[in-house]
Each structure stands twice: as C-alpha cells, then as structure tokens.
C-alpha cells in the first residue's frame, strides 16, 4: 500500500469518527428534545384538566349557593326545660296619677384649682386664678389659601 493511501485513510478515519460522534450526539439531542416535548404535552394536559376541574367546582358552588337549603325535621324531641323554683315577685307600686319629669343627673365638672393662701395681718390675699380665655374663632381673612 502506498504511503499516500495510508495517510488519506488515516485522515478519512478521523473524519468518519468525528461524523459518527456528531451523528450520535444529534440523535441523543433529538431523544432529549422528544422527552422534553412529551413532558410539556403531559403537563399541559394536566393543567387543562386542573383548570376544567376548578371551573366545574366554581359552577357547582354557584349552583349550590343559589339552591335554598331546607332544614330537615328534628327526629329527637328536645328535653323539657328544668323546673325553676318560684321566687316571690314584689308587688308593683301604684303608678302616680301625674307623672313628674325625671331630672337628668348632672355630670361632675372640673373643680377650680385651689391656691393655698397664708394670710398675714398686713398683706391682702392674692386674687383667685381666672379661667382660661376661650380661643378666638378663626376669621376668613387669616385662611391660608393659595
């Protein structure tokens, strides 16, 4: 065999091996893609079934909520109430012929502050503290309008 043929066969073998490896890799990739596609189809079917089941539950809930519920007749009669000892009832007082209006009770108000005072014979007593002046009503001219 001539040396040129050996070299050509050697490089052809390397190229063939490389092509075979690429073909196997492509076949593995196609199988992996088919598996992913089948899984996606299966999940899609599961999601559609879950959505249909949820819609069916919603329809059933709306149907049942619009259906009036009729209570069943009791099958067991309730037990009688236990006897309570009779307590004496006070006699009602006679109503007055002319009812008088009832006065509303007065609410306690704040007591004025007490200032302790020591009285000296030559010093007059200090005046009692005056009530706080009421806040003046706001006027329209002092409004903050922009």
Cα distance between residue 121 and residue 116, in whole Å = 16
Tell me the mean pLDDT per 10 residues along the chain, length 146. Answer: 88 95 97 97 97 92 72 66 66 62 60 56 58 56 57
Q: Is 27 within the bounds of a domain?
A: no
Q: Establish if 53 belongs to a structural domain.
A: yes
Position 133 scores a pLDDT of 56
Owning domain of residue 47 = 42-66
Q: Considering the domain boundaries, does residue 102 fall inside one?
A: no
Let me know if residue 128 belongs to a domain.
no
Assess if residue 49 is contained within a domain. Answer: yes
Number of structural domains in the chain: 1
Contact by Cβ (8 Å): 98, 114: no
Tokens of 139: 């006027």
Check residue 80 and give its pLDDT. 72
Query: Any residues with CB less than 8 A from the CB of 125 and at least 6 apart, and which?
Result: 117, 119
pLDDT number for residue 15: 95
* Residue 122 falls inside a structural domain: no
The predicted pLDDT at position 132 comes to: 55
**CA 20, 21, 24: angle at the middle one, nearest 5?**
85
d(CA 36, CA 62): 39
* 59 domain-assigned: yes
- The Cα–Cα gap between 96 and 4 comes to 142
Q: In this structure, is residue 5 part of a structural domain?
A: no
Q: Residue 46 has what pLDDT? A: 97
């Amino acid at each position: 065999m001539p040396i040129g043929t050996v070299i050509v066969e050697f490089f052809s073998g390397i190229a063939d091996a490389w092509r075979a490896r690429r073909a196997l890799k492509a076949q593995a990739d196609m199988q992996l893609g088919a598996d992913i596609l089948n899984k996606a189809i299966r999940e899609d079917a599961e999601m559609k079934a879950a959505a249909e089941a949820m819609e069916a539950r919603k329809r059933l809930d709306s149907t049942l909520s619009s259906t009036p519920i009729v209570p069943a007749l009791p099958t067991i009669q309730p037990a009688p109430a236990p006897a309570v000892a009779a307590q004496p009832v006070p006699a009602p007082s006679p109503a007055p012929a002319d009812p008088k209006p009832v006065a509303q009770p007065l609410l306690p108000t704040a007591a004025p502050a007490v200032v302790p005072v020591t009285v000296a014979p030559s010093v007059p007593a200090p005046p009692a503290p005056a009530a706080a002046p009421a806040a003046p009503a706001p006027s329209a001219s002092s409004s903050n309008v922009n």
